[in-house]
């Protein structure tokens, strides 16, 4: 996942929980975005995670002006049951062919039986700013809140610097997964990456 930090988020077309088409294009709305990957619609810890994001949207102003989507390998009907059963207010996207999982560098863990639990925070320009790869479901919402606060501080510092001398500090992408990977510099969006026959814009 380190390879995505500082780069434009991949753009994909997937099916949402009601069967309609959804274009996953972080930054297109001019708002920050959160894309999180969970293993299985029926798994208890995944239910905890998706409802944790639901409660964050209801209760935390940080989460009320951003785009949040959850992605799993589940078929559309299973995601529909999960969303309706827990009154989720954000899209769940079906990725049975793992196109999004590969584009967002989400690997299988635990002897390849389960998909890793991964969350990305993406800024208003569609640049991936931070990522978390952690099996603990209750770490992902606090991680997002922390990274959103960092982005707020960067904007405030940039505004203050601009007011005083006309320039602002450069943004610094963050990574919170296990060490070992490097961060790539920001690039222009629009490159097309073929992944198993699918054209993925990065």
Q: Report the CATH number that the domain containing residue 184 is assigned in CATH.
A: 3.40.30.10
Lowest-pLDDT choice from 7-11, 86-90, 111-115, 137-141: 111-115
**Burial state string for 126-147 with b = 16 or more CB within 10 A and e = fewer than 16:** bbbbbbbbbeebebbbebbeeb
The pLDDT assigned to 163 comes to 84
Q: Label residue 107 by pLDDT band (50, 70, 90).
A: confident
Question: pLDDT tens digit string along 155-173?
Answer: 899 888 888 876 555 555 5
| pLDDT value at residue 110 | 56
Residues 76-103 have a mean pLDDT of 97
End-to-end CA distance of the chain: 14
Edge to edge, what strands does the sheet with 33-37 contain? 21-24, 12-16, 92-94, 67-72, 33-37, 118-122, 128-133
Q: Residue 42: pLDDT band by 50, 70, 90 thresholds?
A: confident
Instruction: For the chain, give the mean pLDDT.
Output: 85
pLDDT at 173: 58
Domain of 167 in residue numbering reads as 2-201
pTM for this prediction: 0.79
* pLDDT for position 109: 63
Would you place residue 150 in the very low, low, confident or very high pLDDT band (cuts 50, 70, 90)? very high
Give pLDDT, residue 59.
97
Cα 25 to Cα 90: distance, rounded to the nearest angstrom: 15
Split into its structural domains, the chain has a count of 1
> Looking at residue 116, what is its pLDDT?
85
> What pairs with residue 93 in β-bridges?
16, 71
Confidence bin at 199 (pLDDT 50/70/90): very low
Please say if the pLDDT value at position 181 is more than 80.
no
pLDDT tens for residues 69-89?
A: 999 999 999 999 999 999 999
């Amino acid at each position: 996942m380190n390879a995505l930090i500082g780069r434009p988020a991949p753009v994909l077309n997937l099916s949402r929980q009601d069967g309609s088409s959804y274009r996953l294009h972080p930054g297109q709305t001019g708002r920050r975005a959160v894309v999180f990957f969970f293993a299985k619609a029926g798994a208890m810890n995944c239910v905890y995670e998706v409802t944790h994001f639901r409660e964050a949207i209801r209760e935390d102003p940080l989460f009320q002006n951003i785009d949040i989507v959850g992605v799993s390998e589940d078929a559309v009907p299973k995601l529909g049951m999960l969303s309706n059963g827990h009154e989720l207010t954000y899209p769940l996207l079906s990725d049975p062919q793992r196109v999004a999982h590969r584009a967002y560098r989400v690997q299988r863990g635990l002897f390849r039986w389960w998909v890793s639990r991964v969350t990305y925070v993406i800024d208003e320009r569609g640049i991936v700013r931070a990522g978390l790869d952690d099996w603990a479901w209750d770490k992902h919402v606090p991680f997002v809140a922390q990274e959103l606060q960092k982005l707020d501080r960067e904007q405030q510092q940039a505004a203050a610097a601009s007011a005083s001398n006309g320039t602002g500090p450069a943004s610094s992408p963050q990574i919170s997964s296990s060490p070992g990977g490097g961060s790539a510099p920001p690039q222009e969006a629009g490159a097309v990456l073929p992944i198993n026959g699918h054209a993925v814009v990065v």
